Structure 1
Amino acid sequence: MSETTIPEKMAAVVCHGPEDYRLEEVPVPVPGPGEALVRVEAVGICASDLKCYHGAAKFWGDENRPAWAETDVIPGHEFVGEIVVIDDEASARWNVGVGDRVVSEQIVPCWKCRFCLRGQYHMCAPHDLYGFKRRTPGAMASYMVYPAEALVHKVSKNIPPAHAAFAEPLSCSLHAVERAGITFDDVVVVAGCGPIGLGMIAGARAKNPAHVIALDMQPEKLALAKECGADIVIDIRNEDAEKIVKDLTDGYGADVYLEGTGHPTAVPQGLNLLRKLGTYVEYGVFGSDVTVDWSIISDDKELDVLGAHLGPYCWPAAIRMIESGVLPMDKICSHQLPLADFQKGLDLVGAGTESVKVSLIPS
């Protein structure tokens, strides 16, 4: 066992219920056999964090859907940190050691259920995600533990912590791109130029399709979309996206539509933009039910409608993309705040107009 001097107490954000998150002093967690203690360098605030904070029914649960977030848990599932305590078993399993900068995938699989045994670990039945359940406390704290079941990846120390923590949302974006099966001749439309949408744009561009089209309502984010690889951008407030896409494709429509906003209007928008036999991939997390004309999916167009969840098998590619410098990470990671300003961070994400990716820096 290798270790450095660790304090007994640390600052942490603790969830006590909807809109009741508090900065508290709590004990520093103690790693067990095969685990690692990590000093958190940065933790991003995700749209799902915000929905849990506000207590949306889809996340706090009703009789039809179990709650995502439990009380008395530390939030935060997109993060990076430095290993400060690790035993030989964990070091060998993850090929890391004290002093290494590491990220951990947002899900801690059980490795025993039917999905884990089939390699579909991102659909693990217990579904323990950092920051949503007491079994797996998150990263809005000075320290956290990576459990023995975790998936861990090393990240370069030559990039800022907030950039390294972006591996989580970027891996999600790349998984959605993989689900789409993009080919060279495709016209790809990405709805939303937030963190997920920008990652989708970058991932789609890496597949080298005919066009990558970005949709948003904010000119600044559309400009950022161009830097991430979009060759056409459409401000849906002032332009007719369906007409532009149809004119570009001889009236047929887009081949692929990637939805990354979680806004109900983006769903029918995508169904209408797609050609017959097109592919729709849904990644957005919705705070309310969405109603669409399903005959568009079946009788009208025979669409392939796919979901995407987390970022399985995409973390190494996401890390390489960030480390390569190909993305405008300083612009994507727009705000870094101290942990004590977590409420300001949540409010920035909620406003949606002043930031792209907001991160908390516990140190």
Structure 2
Amino acid sequence: MTQMRAVVVHKGELSVRSVPRPKPGPGQLLIKVQRAGICGSDLHVREHSEELNEVVTEIGYTTAMRPDQEIVLGHEILGSVVSYGPGTRGRWAPGTSVTALPVLRTDGAVHMVGFDVDSPGGFAEYTVVQESFTFPVPDDVDPDRAAFTEPLAVAFHAVRRGGVSARRPAVVIGCGPIGLAVILMLKAQGVKTVVASDLSPARRALAARCGADVVVDPRVSSPWDAYDQKGPVTSLTDYLGFGIDAMKVVRRIPLLPWETVLLNADRLGGSPSGPVVFECVGVPGMLEQIMTAAPLHTRVVVVGVCMQPDTIRPAIAIHKEIDLRFVFGYDPAEFARTLEMIAGGKVDPSPLHTGTVGLDGVAQAFADLADPETHAKILVDPTA
């Protein structure tokens, strides 16, 4: 059996091993890995695989990794075509650079690449991807940029779920890799005011490079004071007072269908609203903190993955009419469009790229990523 080098995690420890090279099954292709990004999910799962297993099993995913298993991590993958399994169309010639959604179907079961024993990931010389979820990378796109397709697709999906209009302010709480990616996608979508908040000076600097219009240290100033509030959304009493004044005006106008006007105010953009907030930290207490401090009618998009139980006060959210949305992943169209934006220069992920290591450097890279002042995103190049 042909062997290859790969980074294996077992009981929380990372090591470089010689493992069997995977074979492409029906509908799959084998690729030689050019780059694989280290994701926050990889850091989480190394330490919290039991919690992750419990969550995903509860929602119907039956093959998630366990601490006692040996798993090849890595789901942000760029590679070149080597060979095809049965039942494929052989769409791209060997050597073609491709990237793919990290989802694989084997023996009728669906697996998340890099998260279970039946779908080894990209921290290896070779890996297997699903042909129908694979997309060719234009020849003129640098591998270090194309490798960011997957994490930027996560951010693109979050921005789309957030429904941010160009003129509605966006506030990004947490400027780690996913927060920075969200900033890039907000600006690519034409959002005029993006406020970024982070405790780390290095990450605040990266947020500015990614296009944030205002960058704040929350220990010094509040992100809620960093943009112009439009309408009476700072307090419930101001909002109710606005309603009294508005009704006094509209009811003075003869024949005005004021009920219709008010019922359609949201759709027409005339109703006061707060910002769209992207929570990209993922630690207990952050949601409660945001909902307590945010203005009325704020929409909160939860992007950060919190692996511990958390507590919020629904009464606060109710009185402010906070809109809470949770996001996960992306769809194939969003993935493909993200690759198009990178290839066309509409979004430039290079500020996120702060280092590249070979397979032997992955364990140290995991340790380095724990320090927000040192790195944002490290890529793995198995040939290095």
Report if aligned partners of 1:227, 1:327 keep a CA contact under 8 Å in 2. no
Q: CA deviation at 1:15?
A: 2.3
Equivalent residues in 2 for 1:6-155, closer than 5 Å: 8-17=2-11, 19-55=12-48, 57-61=50-54, 68-70=64-66, 71-86=69-84, 89-91=87-89, 95-108=91-104, 128-147=111-130, 151-155=133-137
In structure 2, how many angstroms separate the alpha carbons of the residues matched to 1:23 and 1:88? 30
- The farther-off stretch of 340-349 and 321-330 is 321-330
Cα separation, partners in 2 of 1:317 and 1:64, compared to 1, 3 Å: closer
- The farther-off stretch of 175-184 and 214-223 is 214-223
Cα separation, partners in 2 of 1:311 and 1:109, compared to 1, 3 Å: farther
In structure 1, the partner of 2:377 is 357
Residues 139-180 of structure 1: per-residue CA shift (max 9 Å, x gap) = 1110011145x5111113433333222111100001000001
In structure 1, how many angstroms separate the alpha carbons of the residues matched to 2:379 and 2:202? 19
- The farther-off stretch of 47-56 and 280-289 is 47-56
In structure 1, how many angstroms separate the alpha carbons of the residues matched to 2:96 and 2:145? 16
Aligned partner letter, 2:126 = Y
Report if aligned partners of 1:334, 1:356 keep a CA contact under 8 Å in 2. yes
Report if aligned partners of 1:44, 1:78 keep a CA contact under 8 Å in 2. yes
Residues 18-74 of structure 1: per-residue CA shift (max 9 Å, x gap) = x22221111212223332110001111111111111236422548995884232221
In structure 1, the partner of 2:300 is 280
Across the aligned residues of Structure 1 and Structure 2, the Cα RMSD in angstroms comes to: 2.7
In structure 2, the partner of 1:123 is none
Larger Rg: 2
Report if aligned partners of 1:190, 1:215 keep a CA contact under 8 Å in 2. yes
Cα separation, partners in 2 of 1:331 and 1:181, compared to 1, 3 Å: closer
In structure 2, how many angstroms separate the alpha carbons of the residues matched to 1:362 and 1:101? 15
Q: CA deviation at 1:326?
A: 4.5
Q: CA deviation at 1:338?
A: 0.6
Q: CA deviation at 1:340?
A: 1.0
Report if aligned partners of 1:177, 1:203 keep a CA contact under 8 Å in 2. yes
Cα separation, partners in 2 of 1:317 and 1:227, compared to 1, 3 Å: farther
In structure 1, the partner of 2:248 is none
Q: How many residues align?
A: 338
Q: CA deviation at 1:285?
A: 0.8
Cα separation, partners in 2 of 1:226 and 1:100, compared to 1, 3 Å: same
Report if aligned partners of 1:44, 1:162 keep a CA contact under 8 Å in 2. no
Counterpart secondary structure, 2:341:
helix
In structure 2, how many angstroms separate the alpha carbons of the residues matched to 1:228 and 1:321? 15
In structure 1, how many angstroms separate the alpha carbons of the residues matched to 2:112 and 2:14? 18
- The farther-off stretch of 185-194 and 234-243 is 234-243
Residues 248-295 of structure 1: per-residue CA shift (max 9 Å, x gap) = 446626321111121234312331343323211111111322212111
Aligned partner letter, 1:31 = P
Residues 300-320 of structure 1: per-residue CA shift (max 9 Å, x gap) = 112221110012131122112
Aligned partner letter, 2:307 = G
Aligned partner letter, 1:144 = T
Cα separation, partners in 2 of 1:265 and 1:160, compared to 1, 3 Å: farther
Runs of 5+ consecutive residues of structure 2 not aligned to the other structure: 235-273
Cα separation, partners in 2 of 1:12 and 1:64, compared to 1, 3 Å: closer
Percent identity of the aligned residues? 27
Aligned match for 1:296, one of 293, 305, 316 = 316
Q: CA deviation at 1:238?
A: 2.0
In structure 2, the partner of 1:122 is none
In structure 2, how many angstroms separate the alpha carbons of the residues matched to 1:190 and 1:174? 14
Report if aligned partners of 2:32, 2:126 keep a CA contact under 8 Å in 1. yes
Report if aligned partners of 1:228, 1:327 keep a CA contact under 8 Å in 2. no
Aligned match for 1:224, one of 206, 213, 219 = 206
In structure 1, how many angstroms separate the alpha carbons of the residues matched to 2:300 and 2:326? 8
Residues 102-160 of structure 1: per-residue CA shift (max 9 Å, x gap) = 111123369x9xxxxxxxxxxxxx76211111221111110011145x51111134333
Cα separation, partners in 2 of 1:212 and 1:273, compared to 1, 3 Å: farther
Aligned partner letter, 1:136 = S
Counterpart secondary structure, 1:144:
strand
In structure 2, the partner of 1:233 is 215
Cα separation, partners in 2 of 1:217 and 1:328, compared to 1, 3 Å: farther
In structure 1, the partner of 2:251 is none
Residues 308-362 of structure 1: per-residue CA shift (max 9 Å, x gap) = 0012131122112222334453331111001111111111222232101111111
Report if aligned partners of 2:203, 2:372 keep a CA contact under 8 Å in 1. no
Report if aligned partners of 1:58, 1:67 keep a CA contact under 8 Å in 2. no
Q: CA deviation at 1:16?
A: 1.9
In structure 2, how many angstroms separate the alpha carbons of the residues matched to 1:109 and 1:209? 37
What TM-score does the superposition give when structure 1 sets the normalisation length?
Answer: 0.84
Report if aligned partners of 1:13, 1:140 keep a CA contact under 8 Å in 2. yes
Aligned partner letter, 1:130 = V
In structure 2, how many angstroms separate the alpha carbons of the residues matched to 1:77 and 1:197? 19
Aligned match for 1:252, one of 221, 226, 233 = 233
Report if aligned partners of 1:104, 1:146 keep a CA contact under 8 Å in 2. yes
Report if aligned partners of 2:200, 2:372 keep a CA contact under 8 Å in 1. no
